[in-house]
Structure 1
């Protein structure tokens, strides 16, 4: 009897895996960028990201001081690398951002100021799988990654000089 149960369980899992494979091969799961993701897809992506960030994001204070010069450097890096997807101070998505799936958060509106800087650093460094968020670790150095994290942490409380630079950026 126990052997029959084991065979039944194994056969069920093999059958489910085979159905999933056939469904993927048949194109049942949409691959187009403008399709709405399923609840399962959203849950899997969020769960994986949350677990990875808990395990891998730096838990150290930002080694870059919160000076106007570092904030302005972070703003300029944001303008050159991030604004096309995540928008500028006005919170309006660019034409590129409007066509992306998943919709990138417009950071001036949606904000990341409450995220620990280590989490922001990790996301910019490694990117986020299945979202279109690229990994900048191969193109930006460690100091630049921390400057970006610094700016994003303080983007809603900038002093006048960085605020002028931030307001001048266009989506």
Structure 2
């Protein structure tokens, strides 16, 4: 009696997996694996579950050993603007060129999905990254102090002011063209003449 019950259940599971595989194959054949696509609710749920379960219990209990101060927060803000904002944005929204091209997209760090994590969990993610995502591991021999400071700034993101965000824009990495434009603007405001443009030599034949 027991055996006759197990066999049909096994068959149902087999055909269920077969149907799921066929659906995934058809979806991939039609749309491909594009990083532009928005993850489904199921994918998001599974990714969040995987992130949470991959976190060691010891990480959840870790306390921030760095004392919070205005200088610490400012240092972390500058570091975030220079190293993290290219994907996460200055305001933590993740709405950037690189962020929008990732799959899964970077989470909005201002929302509960991140803010509800403990300080130790945020620190662990910064140091160790998240597998199968765009979040690399930044941990090294002497990075712990800076990572703990970043935890404070991530906590501050929901209260980021327009003035702070504008200050961060000046700290973002610049391309050569952007750097040149800013230098020319500073020269103009200071009343300095523009640097002479190199002239192409004229050849007479």
TM over 0.5: yes
Aligned to 2:103: 101
Aligned to 1:12: 12
Kindly report which structure 2 residues correspond to 1:60-71, keeping only aligned pairs within 5 A, or say none: 60-71=62-73
Shift of 1:143: 1.2
Aligned to 1:133: 135
1:168 to 170, 173, 176: 170
Shift in CA distance, 15/62, structure 1 to aligned 2, threshold 3 Å: same
Shift of 1:84: 0.3
Q: Could you state the TM-score of these two structures normalised by the residue count of structure 2?
A: 0.62
Q: Do the aligned partners of 1:62 and 1:117 also contact (CA within 8 Å) in 2?
A: yes
Farther off after superposition, 68-77 or 117-126: 68-77
Task: Look up the SS of the partner of 1:148 in the other structure.
Answer: helix
Shift in CA distance, 9/22, structure 1 to aligned 2, threshold 3 Å: same
Aligned to 2:27: 28
Shift of 1:21: 4.6
In structure 2, distance between residues paired with 1:138 and 1:23: 42
| Residue 44 (structure 1) aligned with residue 67 (structure 2) | no
Shift in CA distance, 38/93, structure 1 to aligned 2, threshold 3 Å: closer
In structure 2, distance between residues paired with 1:92 and 1:54: 26
Farther off after superposition, 72-81 or 110-119: 110-119
1:144 to 133, 146, 164: 146
Q: Could you state the TM-score of these two structures normalised by the residue count of structure 1?
A: 0.72
Shift in CA distance, 70/45, structure 1 to aligned 2, threshold 3 Å: same
Shift of 1:45: 1.4
Q: Do the aligned partners of 1:113 and 1:155 also contact (CA within 8 Å) in 2?
A: no
Shift in CA distance, 165/35, structure 1 to aligned 2, threshold 3 Å: closer
Shift of 1:64: 1.0
Aligned to 1:55: 57
Farther off after superposition, 109-118 or 39-48: 109-118
* Ranges in structure 2 where 5+ consecutive residues have no aligned partner: 174-205
Q: Do the aligned partners of 1:113 and 1:154 also contact (CA within 8 Å) in 2?
A: no
- 1:125-151 deviation per Cα after TM superposition (whole angstroms, max 9, x unaligned): 222334422222248621121111122
In structure 2, distance between residues paired with 1:68 and 1:46: 33
CA RMSD of aligned residues (A): 3.5
User: Of the two structures, which has the highest relative contact order with CA contacts closer than 8 Å and spacing of 6 or more?
Assistant: 1
In structure 2, distance between residues paired with 1:100 and 1:35: 9
